[in-house]
Structure 1
Amino acid sequence: MELRQLRQFVVLAEELSFSAAAQRLFMAQPALSVAIRKLEEEIETPLFLRGSRGVRLTPAGEAALEATRRCLNSAGGIKEAARLAAAGELGTLRIGFSGSVTLRLLPGLVQTFSRRYPDVKLELREGTNLELLTLVEAGTLDLGFVRVPASRPPDLRFQLVEEDCLCLALPRSHALAKKASIPLAALEGQPFIGYAPSPVGGLHSAVNLVLQRAGVAPRITQEAVQVQTALGLVASGLGVAMVPAANTPYQRSSGAVFRPIADLPADARIGIALAHHSRNDSPVMQRFLEISAMRANVEPRRKTGVA
């Protein structure tokens, strides 16, 4: 049984005339007669009573007509669903993120995307840079918000979403907190909250590179995995930390104070990028990348210092 046969059946049921139905279907009348006869044979019951004045539906034909219309409507829904999915307007998008993007970046992009594509289901998953890159590479996630610079597996592509820089977070009672900006040399010997090493780089590598280039050796007292953890340790008075500047306006309640680094090298840039697999051709993913690219184009670049 084919959709073409079902459409022919519905047209004949509406016209109750083989000649009128054939004209409407742009086919020869004998061909329509053969098609309807084959349909009746397939469902093993007559659908029409044929007479010299035309045809009329049998009781079985009347019941079949209602079911056929439902079937054709469902088939139309399948076609529309496929069209929307191919256009990236329907489907599921699996996104991974680290904690630092939940304050501002992730909510803004998700809200914009969901307003534009309300029929796309978003599945969100939190993780570290290493976890997110691993999951994207394995195809478990479509996209991962990762902090850069980071190592780039050969099959992954990165789209920069936000450019940022490092600033200092200090306990409110710290002597350096009285300064408007702080030179790197002032960190020599200071209790310092570092970041746990990661094989893919991230904040650990970015912070260490800045300190090494400045020839400064603070005293590492603790190591954190996430920025929020580092801020909690700073607020507890355990040391100072370098943190991304972009989210500092949203972290004033953390118990830490934030100061720009006076002599931060201009090329000591960090940021957030969307990682995706080069072989992932999901239309839904492409729509999200388009929206994130639009945001990156309109968002002004942040100057060195506290945002």
Structure 2
Amino acid sequence: MEVRHLRYIVATARNGSFSAAAHELNVKQPIVSKRIKELESELGVVLFDRSTAGARLTPTGEEFVVAARRILEEAERLGEHMRASAAGKLGRVVVGFYKSLSTGGFRTALRGFRRCYPKIEVELVESPFVELSAGVLSGTLDTAIILGDAGKCDTLETVALWSDQLVVALPENHPLAEKPVIYWPELKRERFIITHHDPGPDIRAVLLRHLAAPSDHPEIITRRLSRESLLSEVADGQGIALQCESAVGLSGLGVVFRPLHDGNGATRLGYIACWKPDNINPVLKTFLDALKP
């Protein structure tokens, strides 16, 4: 018994004749008659009463057609499921990210993706960079969203996503707090606090790129603190901190945030997605395409 045999029987029952069923299914009438007769012989039952007026279901045939319709509907649903899965519109994708990305551009993009693809499950894993890259390489993560430029990970494929404006977190009574915009030269004698956790190492690299000189090196203190605890240290006058603009929404911490500019305008940090070149999950492409600017 094959699925096509069930289609022949259901079509014949619906049309009341073998010839009409053959026309509907675009096959020759003798094929429909022969296959149904073969199935009747195989099962040892009579499904249709045949006459010059057409073909009418027997009581056994009526029972059979109810089950056949159910099987065909399930087969169609299975086919749709498989086609959607192959097209990357159904399935599961595991995405790693920094804790600092729990708000801001990533969260906005994720919310939009889930709205557009409700049948795709997005499993989130929050980890530091070392664990994220290891997870992608081992296959436990489909992709990781990290700070950096395309090409940052030599062994992984990468694509540039969005960027965040960099802001300075200052104590409310800091002299620079009165300025609407802060420029890099104004920060030369400041003490910076960064987190040991990601994206702390990326922030350190930015500080050194903009402020380090042969005879001058910024004072950078590393602490094992969450973003909120680090900002509390800033409020207590222990230093200042660089943050992505998503931190601006944090309130009640005793700090102010000011945009950071250089001679070309706002200083921005770019985010990338990285993934293993041989990842075959079709949902991954759908996810990355949705996140691309």
Taking structure 1 as the reference length, the TM-score comes to: 0.77
Q: CA RMSD in A?
A: 3.5
Does the 8 Å CA contact 1:129/1:147 hold for their aligned counterparts?
A: no
Match of 1:290 in 2: 289
Q: Which digits, 9 at most, give the CA deviation of each residue in 1:241-275, with x for residues without a partner? A: 2223x324323443222345565898975222222
Match of 2:9 in 1: 9
Structure 2 residues without counterparts, runs of 5 or longer: none
Match of 1:111 in 2: 111
32-41 or 170-179, larger mean C-alpha shift: 170-179
1:165-204 matched pairs, under 5 angstroms: 166-178=166-178, 181=182, 183-184=184-185, 186-188=187-189, 190-196=190-196, 202-204=202-204
C-alpha separation in 2, matches of 1:183 and 1:153? 28
Does the 8 Å CA contact 2:150/2:158 hold for their aligned counterparts?
A: no
* Distance change in 2, residues 1:197/1:284 (3 Å): closer
Does the 8 Å CA contact 1:193/1:222 hold for their aligned counterparts?
A: yes
Does the 8 Å CA contact 1:96/1:132 hold for their aligned counterparts?
A: yes
Does the 8 Å CA contact 2:47/2:58 hold for their aligned counterparts?
A: yes
CA shift at 1:46, angstroms? 3.0
C-alpha separation in 2, matches of 1:94 and 1:136? 10
C-alpha separation in 2, matches of 1:207 and 1:38? 80
Amino acid at match of 1:254: L
Match status 1:156 vs 2:156: yes
Does the 8 Å CA contact 1:100/1:226 hold for their aligned counterparts?
A: no
Match of 2:274 in 1: 275
SS in 2 for 1:287: helix
Structure 1 residues without counterparts, runs of 5 or longer: 297-307
Amino acid at match of 2:135: L
* Distance change in 2, residues 1:66/1:209 (3 Å): same
Amino acid at match of 2:269: I
Does the 8 Å CA contact 1:161/1:272 hold for their aligned counterparts?
A: yes
Q: Provide the aligned length of Structure 1 versus Structure 2.
A: 292
* Distance change in 2, residues 1:56/1:170 (3 Å): same
Amino acid at match of 1:56: R
Match of 1:240 in 2: 240
Taking structure 2 as the reference length, the TM-score comes to: 0.80
SS in 2 for 1:88: coil
Aligned identity (percent) is 33
Does the 8 Å CA contact 2:168/2:258 hold for their aligned counterparts?
A: yes
Q: Which digits, 9 at most, give the CA deviation of each residue in 1:216-250, with x for residues without a partner? A: 43444442466445323323433222223x32432
Match of 1:127 in 2: 127
C-alpha separation in 1, matches of 2:144 and 2:12? 54
Match status 1:95 vs 2:95: yes
Does the 8 Å CA contact 1:184/1:214 hold for their aligned counterparts?
A: no
* Distance change in 2, residues 1:207/1:195 (3 Å): farther
Q: Which digits, 9 at most, give the CA deviation of each residue in 1:42-90, with x for residues without a partner? A: 4343323445655432322211100111111121212222333333332
